[in-house]
Amino acid sequence: GEQQPPLHILFFPFLAPGHLIPIADMAALFAARGIRCTILTTTVNAAIIRSTVDHANDASHGTGCPAINISVVPFPDIGGLPPGVENGMALKSDVDRERFFEAAQPFERFLVDNCPDAVVSDSFWHWSADAAAEHGVPRLAFLGTSMLARSCTESMLRNNPLEAAPDDLDALVLLPGLPHRVQLRRSQMMIDPAKRPDHWALFQSINAADQRSFGEVFNSFHALEPDYVEHYQRALGRRAWLVGPVALASKDMAGRGTDALSPDANSCLRWLDTKPAGSVVYVSFGTLTSSSPAEMRELARGLALSGVDFVWVIGAATPAPDSSEWMPGGFAELMARGDRGFIIRGWAPQLLILDHPAVGGFLTHCGWNSTLEAVSAGVPMVTWPRYADQLHNEQLAVEVLRVGVSVTGGKDYASSGVVMGEAIAESIVRLMGNSDEGDAIREKARELCMKARCAVENGGSSYNDVGSLMDELMARRTAYRNAVKV
């Protein structure tokens, strides 16, 4: 028959690094499967993913893979933000956040001008479902979280268990209808209709928009959370594809880890080269979670007390408080020794660090990308979630998968109090020290790492999900074109 032109997919990521990065990885992965990809974003946000896209295009040069383009649009004038600031790292107020949702105009223009075969837009851009439908383009919602976390939100929205729950913010609330017993404190619930009716309405809109879309794409894989895949697809009847871990799938061609490294990053990797296998704990809280001086002081005390060597990323999120504000006595001397710890100020090459044989644990805020990257590298976690889906990602890692140790033990330190250095040290030693518990956790982490690799390899579950999604989109295009012809 007639040679079909490749599918063309438009990616429309939310404007925060934790959403842009997996979208760029996914584009690299899709391009390697023969899909033409365009990523629509703004100037500053394009810079965050530029090197991933360049690497992917370089690597595919001459292989016949279609290129990935970044289509750069000006940031909408929402006012109130410092110049040059264009993403969620800088969004402090809900007003700013809401105005991000008004960036509809360039999106619609792109749909009209380019007629892509599908759009993958962030679940947060709920209005894009109707915009795409209006122009006859199937929309896939991108979920930047685990299927477990998504199922928890869905349970919240459908059952509203807070309605009958006590007002006491410390009260444990059960989320009904899930494969596991999942409960959270009322203060930790991502959306409380009594406290924030606007958030409740927003998440209802998001969930409804995802349901009337062509489907949902998850950066996860079947063997990671099979009970939730079963729950989401079978019990809830949602159309969802699991195509991750996208960082792993795109690593070979995109080489996010091989980006030009800062001098700090380079010397960090050389420092790790001097350390025994599995002896170092990597500490990072992602791109949005900032720590108070009190939290940093306790963390520094904890790292010192643990006796475990560490790499600590400070200020990847907001500029860190000055060390005079947080540094505990003796810490400067400890750092001056040079062999106990390495501090990276700014952006860390996280994938390379997690892949380094010296790294044996990851003290993480449980952002979904970090959690999945730890799983993909076979590195067990010390979990310290603060809010939103991080709490559910911790539950997945600690309670379901048993590849982590919790620092907080479910207590809500984000609302009150500070985790003490002693508790931090104890958790690190529990994970990294010689014990049956540590051995069991490391064994589980190794198993999961193998499963993650299998998922993205030729014939694996995520590989096949990409294939079946492509088939469906191709069939839809053909049917749509025939219908238009008639």
Catalogue the active-site residues: 19, 122
Work out how close the CB of 120 gets to ligand UDP at its nearest, in angstroms, rounded to a whole number.
Answer: 17
Task: Please report how close the Cβ of residue 381 comes to ligand UDP at its closest, in angstroms.
Answer: 11
Told to check if 462 binds ligand UDP by CB under 6 A, we report no
Chain residue whose CB lies nearest ligand UDP: 18
d(CA 154, CA 392): 13
Q: Nearest distance from residue 239's CB to ligand UDP, in Å?
A: 24
Which amino acid is it at 8? H
- The 10 Å Cβ neighbour count of residue 201 is 12
Percent helix, percent strand, percent coil in the chain, to nearest 5: 50, 15, 35
Residue 370 interacting with ligand UDP (CB under 6 A): yes
> Of residues 118, 175, 308, 316, which one binds ligand UDP by CB under 6 A?
316
* Residues near ligand UDP (CB under 6 A), total: 18
- The single residue listed with the structure tokens 């030729």 is 458
Under rule CB under 6 A, which residues in 328-367 are in contact with ligand UDP?
A: 347-348, 350, 367
What number of other Cβ atoms are within 10 A of residue 87's Cβ? 23
With contacts defined by CB under 6 A, name the span among 53-61, 282-290, 415-423, 473-481 that binds ligand UDP: 282-290
Q: How far is the CB of 483 from ligand UDP (least distance, A)?
A: 40
Q: Among 193-201, 271-279, 281-289, 438-446, which window interacts with ligand UDP (CB under 6 A)?
A: 281-289
- Cα–Cα distance measured from residue 405 to residue 421, given in angstroms and rounded to the nearest whole number: 15
Of the ranges 165-173, 196-204, 285-293, 445-453, which one interacts with ligand UDP (CB under 6 A)?
285-293
Q: Which of 287, 406, 461, 462 binds ligand UDP (CB under 6 A)?
A: 287
**What one-character-per-residue DSSP string does 269-308 give?**
HHHHHTSPTT-EEEEE-TTT----HHHHHHHHHHHHHH--
Q: Starting from the edge strand earliest in sequence, which strands make up the sheet with 215-218, in order?
A: 68-73, 36-42, 8-12, 118-122, 139-143, 215-218, 240-242
Burial of 387 (0-12, 13-18, 19+ CB in 10 A): middle
- What does the alpha-carbon distance between residue 314 and residue 356 come to, in Å, rounded to a whole number? 19
Q: Which stretch binds ligand UDP (CB under 6 A): 14-22, 42-50, 65-73, 231-239?
A: 14-22
| 368 in contact with ligand UDP (CB under 6 A) | yes
In the complex, the smallest distance separating the C-beta of residue 197 from ligand UDP, rounded to whole angstroms, is 25
CA-closest candidate to residue 476, choices 107, 118, 2: 118
Q: Which residues bind ligand UDP (CB under 6 A)?
A: 17-18, 21, 284, 286-289, 313, 316, 347-348, 350, 367-370, 373
